[in-house]
A and B are shown apart, each in its own frame.
Chain A
Amino acid sequence: MNSTNETDETNETDGTKAAGAPDETGGPDPSSEPVVAVVGGGRFGWGLADTAARNGRRVVLWSRRPQRPATDQIRVTQELGDLAEAELIFIAVPSPYVGALASQLGEHLDGQHLLVHVSRGMVGAELRPLTAVLRQVTPCRRIGALGGPLVAKALSEGEPGGGVVGTLFPEVREAVREALGGSSLRIYSTDDVAGVEVAMTLVGLLSVATGYARGMGVGPATLAVMATRGMAEAARLGVLLGGKAETFSGLAGFGDLLAAFAGDGRPEVAFGEALALGESPEVAAKRVGANIEGFAVARSFADLIERVGVQAPMTHLLADVLEGKMGGQAMMAALMARSVGAE
């Protein structure tokens, strides 16, 4: 049995416990629970804030330039110090900004705060996971990463779905379930933090690839091979970086990629499509209105693959394609020309 609770049916009672409307179950009044904090006023940050508010929780959302007005339950602030009153803090800013922002935020926090990031990125050439960054720049230790097929729009609208939180700490798992879990969102958990973070990142990259392939007009069979082989590569890279292979067949891996295929409207796919149609990465990013993390990590992964000699040809070639050094057709030809063996 792996340590991922996703497949463990008995554990799902935890998920449903957090699910019931609080007043009916006679549980604690959620409005008396500690405030939930969100760092980042992008669509995803607001999606998390909306979900917690729908669960009856008070929310404080930090944004440098607030785009949306506060609501009864969601207070908007530009002071990071205001987040200290929360217990659970979601970090929903693009990975390149996490370090500096968390470092400032960390000055207001202590060992009781629980930090959970939702970023699809890893940092630097050495591909540092963001949980490691958070541990380094803040005094917080009870940290986690929330992944899976979560998209901003569905979160804000309360569409049924699920995610997985990777953490070593039971209280982080419980706090995320209490804040977000409910009748419309199932929050599973695993202690394979590294696996979740690599899966989140590489699914981001594969989502871009999916969009790119769609933009090229490839058929369903090609897409299926791409997705399956791509995920096998992701799992290999995940294991290399300290994760467990089975995490990649769960919500953080395949689950997340399936949502991209099913057309969940995520910006990575739109970005990939735009690239295939000849737009520059800058223009494409502007158009989809999001920071595309998958694009930024492609080169670091390609370097890692070369350095270690792990089998991940698709991920390796994707870096060239996304940087415009290689065409989609050439990549396809290169992949198809490889010798084929046991799956």
Chain B
Amino acid sequence: MLAGPMSLLSRFLQSPPLRVPTLLAPKVRPGDPRIFSFNGERPHIIHDLVTRVVEQQGRDPERLLYHLNDAANAEVRRLASQRDAEAEVSLDFWRRLLHGLGKMDDDERREALKTIVSRMGEDIAGNFDVRVFGATRRMVPGVLTAIMNPSSLPRELVRSGWPRVDSLVTAEGPIQRLRELAKIGTLVLVPTHASNLDSIALGYLLDREGLPPVVYGAGKNLFSNPIISFFMHNLGAYRVDRRVRARLYKDVLKAYSCLMIERGYHSLFFPGGTRSRSGMVETHLKLGLAGTAVEAFARNVMVGDSRPVFIVPATLNYALCLEAETLIDDWLKGAGQARYIIEDDEFSSIDRMIAFMKKATNLRSAMVIRFGEPLDPFGNPVDGDGRSLTPSGASIDPATYVSRRGVASLDPARDAGYTRELGELLPKIFSRETVVMWTQLVAHVLYRHLVVESPGVDLFGRQRRRGEVGLARTRLVQEVGEARDRLLELESAGEVRVGPVLRNTRPDELVDQALEAWRGYHTKPVAREIGSEIVIEDPNLLLYYQNRLVGFAEALATPDTLAAAREIAALEA
């Protein structure tokens, strides 16, 4: 727990957007990333946001009343149970609104809507401080470590950097093309989501690879880490408070993300909605805010702005995952949906963070971020000049998708259709752009053996078999080697990617390195070498790491292990 000065600092940093006075801000120069002009535009963005949402939701008196009632009831309920500083400030406002609603006329209700949307907008909208960005850049690559370990921040600040972080994260994919496309259009990054470190690591990597910064919605709970909160506020993140149940809030969020894309801010959304609890690559996508890419594009076309929007799928692949223990426990409890916000995970524990970073920085390529081929919002590939391409390779005007009989229009139902199709396309891309890490392959082979040794036992029965099942080291090495060969074949067929360490390391070393990676970070040993055997100690963590491979289980199996592989493949359903 934070105490004393840290808790003061924490309060200070968490207070609504802490900003350095804009008067002193340096001027934005031509060619600077779009986000550099964010602070200047912030009031306009909020103004547009309020106008748009009030126009959409306030036109019909019945709908207006419904939204106000819904919002007031939901907020009173939430704040009354929260009983925190926020409740002190806001609960009264909502109670008064709830009581007064019946007596208001339509104009007064519209005014109330305006006030609410404006408050929500102010809470959501981020901030971008060029100076904070500049300072962060200078500290990078040390900053990635620094923000995870606030107590060492001053020391890290004066250091010129921590070179090891550089080799910690590897970037793959059409990066040069993305740099070019970022100049032509607006990038909408849609990566897989494994850890709360994802957005931080991505932000760091984008900068390192010469890609522009992105804005993204971060769960308000992430802002509870004071240092991260500071960086997020000032580096363009906007706050998404998942506790707010009011329908209006969703509309405001959508309108905000739509406005940002419309205005050309490169954006990042996690289409899976939340971190993958199982460790599997997401197969069911909510898309949610990412769906606003289509609307933003349509709105721009309607006003004659043909600036393209590029959807950039990406996979984030960790050899070691910070929150693996909490996430897999949550999945096994079947509570993944219910516990949408986990507040007591490794991300909020500084000790765990430090342990993780110590471990991770000693691993080479502990993380691979792989970008997929960019698409237009309608699923068409785009060429280096940003033109959408048809299956026959001809270029096509993406505006035709939001037009009918030559006239561009807004149509939420149509755009929901495009979004659903994108939601069906992305998991296929995620699957083939998944970069398999060595820990995952070793975990898969070990877990497969556990299944072989426990035929007919259900998942939960199997997960209880701690320290009972072992595999001769020589056999493990052999099976890892065979599985890697098969994986390389799958890679040649374009079905998956193989990570650098997994590709270039001897199978016996892969086994050693996997055991080494798990040792020292996770609180429980995943597997232990006892004599000539590798004994499975924590089937849950093993399951987490191997889950990344469920989609490939059958393809990796030998005739002897095929039945077990099929059982593993069935986990995905």
Interface residues of A (CB under 8 A from B): 34, 87, 103, 106-107, 110-112, 135-139, 141-142, 167-171
Interface string of B178-217 (1 = CB under 8 A from A): 0000000000000000000000000000000000000000
The reply on B306 being an interface residue by CB < 8 A is: no
- Give A83 Cβ to nearest chain B Cβ, in Å: 16
Decide: A171 and B414 in contact? CB cutoff 8 A: yes
Q: How far is the CA of A34 from the CA of B403 in the complex (A)?
A: 15
CB atoms of B398 and A112 under 8 A apart: no
Using Cβ atoms and an 8 Å threshold, which residues of chain B touch A111?
378, 396-403
CB-based contact B394/A112 at 8 Å? no
Q: How far is the CA of A142 from the CA of B402 in the complex (A)?
A: 10
A120 to B322, CA, bound (A): 50
The interface residues of chain A lying within 8 Å CB-to-CB of B404 are 87, 112, 171
| B contact residues around A171 at 8 Å (CB) | 404, 411, 414
Minimum Cβ distance to chain A for residue B178 (Å)? 23
For this complex, into which size category does the number of interface residues on chain B fall? 20 to 34
Between A87, A106, A111, the greatest number of chain B beta carbons within 10 A of the residue's beta carbon is seen for A111
> Which residues does B use to contact A, with CB under 8 Å?
378-380, 390-392, 394, 396-406, 411, 413-414, 416-418, 420-421
Give the distance in Å from the alpha carbon of A168 to the alpha carbon of B412 in the complex: 11
Contacts of B420 in A (CB 8 A): 168
Cβ of B402: which chain A residues have Cβ within 8 Å of it? Answer: 111
Least Cβ distance of A282 to chain B in Å? 34
The answer to whether residues A112 and B392 also contact, given A87-B405, A141-B421, A170-B414 and a CB cut-off of 8 A, is no
Task: Kindly state the separation between the CA atoms of A141 and B403 in the bound complex, as whole angstroms.
Answer: 12
Q: Are the CB atoms of B417 and A168 closer together than 8 Å?
A: yes
Cα distance, A218 to B196, chains bound together (Å) = 64
CB of A178 to closest CB in B, whole Å = 12
Q: Would A106 and B418 be within 8 Å (CB), given that A112-B400, A139-B396 are in contact? A: no
Query: Do A103 and B391 form a contact, CB below 8 Å, given A139-B380, A139-B396?
Result: yes
Q: Report the bound CA distance from A8 to B135 in whole Å.
A: 60
B405 and A112: CB pair below 8 A? yes
A169 touches B405 (CB 8 A): no
Query: Across the two chains, which residue of chain B brings its CB closest to A170?
Result: B413
Q: How far is the CA of A171 from the CA of B397 in the complex (A)?
A: 19
CB distance from B163 to the nearest CB of A (A): 46
Contact, CB under 8 Å: A136 / B391: yes
Contact at B421–A135, with CB atoms within 8 Å? Answer: yes
Could you say which residues of chain B place their CB within 8 Å of the CB of A137? Answer: 391
A141: which B residues are within 8 A, CB to CB?
A: 378-379, 401, 417-418, 421
B414 touches A106 (CB 8 A): no
Q: Which 5 A-B pairs have the closest CB atoms?
A: A111-B400, A168-B417, A111-B401, A139-B390, A110-B400
Can you show 29 pairs from A to B with CB atoms below 8 A apart? A34-B405, A103-B391, A103-B392, A106-B390, A107-B390, A107-B392, A110-B397, A110-B400, A111-B396, A111-B397, A112-B401, A112-B404, A135-B379, A136-B391, A138-B390, A138-B391, A139-B390, A139-B391, A141-B378, A141-B379, A141-B401, A141-B417, A142-B401, A142-B414, A167-B417, A169-B413, A169-B414, A170-B414, A170-B417
For the complex, what is the distance from the CA of A107 to the CA of B392, rounded to whole Å?
7
Residue in A103, A139, A171 with the greatest tally of chain B CB atoms within 10 Å: A139
* Additional A-B contact list (17), CB under 8 Å, known A87-B405, A111-B397, A167-B417: A87-B404, A103-B391, A106-B391, A106-B392, A110-B396, A111-B378, A111-B396, A111-B400, A135-B421, A138-B391, A139-B390, A139-B391, A141-B421, A142-B414, A168-B420, A171-B404, A171-B414
A110 partner residues in chain B, CB cutoff 8 A: 396-397, 400
Please measure, in the bound complex, the distance between the C-alpha atom of A171 and the C-alpha atom of B407, giving whole angstroms.
13
Residues in A whose Cβ lies below 8 Å from that of B390:
106-107, 138-139
- The answer, among A103, A138, A170, for a CB contact under 8 Å with B411, is A170
8 Å CB contact of B417 from A106, A107, A142: A142
A110 to B376, CA, bound (A): 14
Residues of chain A within 8 A of B405, CB atoms compared: 34, 87, 112
List the B side residues contacting A142 at CB < 8 Å.
401, 414, 417
CA distance A169 to B398 in the complex (A): 17
Bound Cα distance A34, B420 (Å) = 28
Q: Which residues of A contact B378 (CB under 8 A)?
A: 111, 141
- Across the interface, which residues of B come within 8 angstroms of A139, CB to CB? 380, 390-391, 396
Least Cβ distance of B410 to chain A in Å? 12
Contact A169 B417 (CB under 8 A): yes
A111–B392 CA distance with the chains assembled, in angstroms: 14
User: For the complex, what is the distance from the CA of A168 to the CA of B294, rounded to whole Å?
Assistant: 15
**Least CB distance, A36 to chain B, in whole angstroms:** 14
Q: How far is the CB of B293 from chain A (nearest CB, A)?
A: 14
Find the B residue at minimum CB distance from A307: B566
The residues of B that contact A106 with a CB separation of less than 8 Å are 390-392
Q: How far is the CA of A333 from the CA of B397 in the complex (A)?
A: 59
